[in-house]
Chain A
Amino acid sequence: QVQLQESGPGLVKPSQTLSLTCTVSGGSLSSGVYFWSWIRQYPGKGLEWIGNIYHSGATYYNPSLKSRLTVSVDTSENQFSLRLSSVTAADTAVYYCARVGAYGYCISTNCHAPFDLWGQGALVTVSS
């Protein structure tokens, strides 16, 4: 079955760029049916949606992060990635990649659908 796995540095210095990759296994990221997302969970357990991407490269971001955020896709590697610039301690969180679109629909990567599959998560700590 399809699985998602996050990878990347666990420690990032303040003001630098946080980079994570999500590898999709057991299925194709380019299937056309699904969209792909990043979500983070703060140490206090609150969850925040970061953004969506389609295999075409079209994106849809949370406005609160848009100025610092880049989400990209590499269909040849069956991966999609997150880059968040100018990080501070407030960006310390567990970062999850997820799939969206199995239930509901998406219009131009703005999805009215829940996250039906999640990765295990990757803890990223921002500290000097």
Chain B
Amino acid sequence: EIVLTQSPGTLSLSPGERATLSCRASQSISSTYLAWYQQKPGQGPRLLIYHTSSRATGIPDRFSGSGSGTDFTLTISRLEPEDFAVYYCQQYDSSPITFGGGTTVEIK
């Protein structure tokens, strides 16, 4: 199975700053089948990015995804107060589907 490792574990930033989150796969993910989710306390995850770089419906353009092979990145260009949350990457290239361990973006 593909293991996804996210870094850093916690990112401490101020509103308005840029956030860069990393997701590294244990083997190459073909066809860019990687997604990013946002989760807030007491809620299910919300899909932000699919196919590495496509924004899901209703997701603001301050969220962007990039990468290929084994290295992927989620960038939040300017943090809004509602962006402080936990972010997960997920691969749906090969079975079983797997998730990264998450990155917490907290207010500095």
Interface residues of A (CB under 8 A from B): 45-49, 60, 62-64, 96, 98, 103-104, 110-121
Contact = CB atoms under 8 A, between A and B. Distances in A.
Contacts of A62: 96-97
Interface string B88-104: 10101101111101100
A57 B107 CA distance: 45
- Residue among B44, B47, B50, B102 facing the most chain A CB atoms (10 A cut-off): B44
Contacts, number: 64
A45 B39 CA distance: 10
B69 interface: no
Interface string B40-78: 001111110011001010000000000000000000000
A103 B50 CA distance: 8
B92 A118 contact: no
A120 B86 contact: no
5 contacts: A47-B99, A49-B98, A98-B44, A112-B92, A114-B92
B86 A45 contact: yes
